[in-house]
């Protein structure tokens, strides 16, 4: 966060599970194959979240990071992204809506809603890891008129970065792609522009790094300008016409 602030960033994105990413096989068992969360140190997780919140306020930057949020005692927790403003306030929480088989049967309860927040005139949506495999979620964010989707993952999977790049091409918004440092050599974190080009990317090495770029709705970069001001509105019109003609649902 300090390095990002020193680089002039207004928003820093971290991966899924940035605070903790539990191994269900290492956790106490509960009924029906689910894990037991009764011994979870929620106070420690809360203290880490609080430290991030306070540092965001100190640095004057927005932060989005993966964590786990408890619900009622009888309900499995949520795999979430917390959005912290530059004033150190938690302004939004995105709960992962589509879970992997293991997550759904052993670890978490799913969220149900997209999340969109605004920063410096940009509308930003959130998605987590395996949700990259469900284009309807990203089409929904296009319909919600976002400028950016932050896709935070916890997986060593080069193909997932290619899928993320495809959404920049298909929907002509920016994609923030964040992975843990230990997976950096396979598919480094970075920022994809409208049109699908990588604008900034971390080194292909298994170590912490930053990828920093400007997001400008009035950008003169040819690819971005075409994506934002020509391709995106034309594709919206084409989709509307195709739906009216019954060509797509």
Q: b/e for 167-191, b at 16 or more Cβ within 10 A?
A: bbbebbbbbbbbbbeebbebbbbbb
Query: Interior CA angle at 132 toward 127 and 137, to 5°?
Result: 65
Which residue's entry shows tokens 């709960």?
95
Spatial distance between the Cα atoms of 69 and 77, rounded to a whole number of angstroms: 6
Spatial distance between the Cα atoms of 93 and 83, rounded to a whole number of angstroms: 6
Inter-helix orientation angle 158-171/135-143, to 10° = 30
- What does 113-143 look like in DSSP terms, one character per residue? ---EEEETTEEEEEEEGGGGG-HHHHHHHHH
CB–CB of 35/43 below 8 Å? no
Spatial distance between the Cα atoms of 136 and 142, rounded to a whole number of angstroms: 10
DSSP-assigned beta bridge partners for residue 140 = none
Q: b/e for 205-227, b at 16 or more Cβ within 10 A?
A: eeeeeebebebeeebebebbbeb
HSE-CB of 134 using CA atoms within 13 angstroms: 14
pLDDT in tens, the chain (249 residues): 999 999 999 999 999 999 999 999 999 988 778 999 999 999 999 999 999 999 999 999 999 999 999 988 778 999 999 999 999 999 999 999 999 999 999 999 999 999 999 999 999 999 999 999 999 999 999 999 999 999 999 999 999 999 999 999 999 999 999 999 999 999 999 999 999 999 999 999 999 999 999 999 999 999 999 999 999 999 999 999 999 898 887
CB–CB of 147/174 below 8 Å? yes
CB–CB of 118/124 below 8 Å? yes
CB–CB of 94/126 below 8 Å? yes
Q: What is the per-residue pLDDT for 247?
A: 87
CB–CB of 176/210 below 8 Å? no
Q: What is the per-residue pLDDT for 31?
A: 74
């Amino acid at each position: 966060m300090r390095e990002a602030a020193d680089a002039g960033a207004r928003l820093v994105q971290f991966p899924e599970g940035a605070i903790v990413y539990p191994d269900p096989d290492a956790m106490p068992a509960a009924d029906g194959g689910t894990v037991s969360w009764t011994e979870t140190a929620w106070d420690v997780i809360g203290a880490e979240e609080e430290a991030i919140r306070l540092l965001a306020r100190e640095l004057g930057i927005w932060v989005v990071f993966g964590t786990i949020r408890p619900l009622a005692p009888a309900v499995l927790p949520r795999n979430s992204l917390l959005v912290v403003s530059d004033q150190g306030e938690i302004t939004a929480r995105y709960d992962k809506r589509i879970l992997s088989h293991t997550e759904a049967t052993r670890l978490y309860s799913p969220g149900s809603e997209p999340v969109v927040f605004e920063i410096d005139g940009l509308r930003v949506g959130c998605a987590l890891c395996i949700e990259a495999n469900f284009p309807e979620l990203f089409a929904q964010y296009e319909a919600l008129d976002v400028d950016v989707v932050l896709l935070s993952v916890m997986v060593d999977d080069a193909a997932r970065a290619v899928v993320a790049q495809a959404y920049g091409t298909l929907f002509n918004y920016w994609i923030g792609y964040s992975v843990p440092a230990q997976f950096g050599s396979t598919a480094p974190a970075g920022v994809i522009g409208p049109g699908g080009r990588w604008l900034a990317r971390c080194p292909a090495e298994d170590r912490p790094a930053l990828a920093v770029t400007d997001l400008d709705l009035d950008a003169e970069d040819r690819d971005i300008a075409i994506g934002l001001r020509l391709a995106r509105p034309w594709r919206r019109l084409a989709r509307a016409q195709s739906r009216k003609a019954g060509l797509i649902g």
